[in-house]
Structure 1
Amino acid sequence: TPFETFVEADDPDDADGGTHYKEECQKEYETYYDEEYARVAKLMKFDYCQDDGVAASPEDTNT
């Protein structure tokens, strides 16, 4: 699937400008991002709520 299927130009009149996800794709992207963040945080034993950033256990990642 071409990249253009999921994104649109920030400014249609500026060919060199930035892009953003189309509204109908943004929620799916955010869900996928959150799931992957939780998976990686668990593997790394990362917990942003701890002072040192290290989770007490693999399940304590606050994700």
Structure 2
Amino acid sequence: MDEIHRTGKRRAAGMLTLRKVQFYDRVLKRRFELLTNLFEMRADLIAAIYKPRLQIELLLKQLKQNFPIP
């Protein structure tokens, strides 16, 4: 699924246009929703780029939980 969203105030300076891309990860059996400003790139490529990034973020979250830094 691919949608365009606008956020902020109606004035041009406060308006932000984002693209919402949804994809399903068969390994994790989970659906993800991404907000991006990449309008020219195909949705499947955006998902392919963000999937490894999400894995890294989940790993960092685990590390922070198991090894708290004072």
In our comparison, the structure showing a higher alpha carbon Rg is 1
TM-score, normalised with respect to structure 1:
0.40
Q: What's the TM-score, normalizing by structure 2?
A: 0.37
Bigger proportion of residues as strand? 2
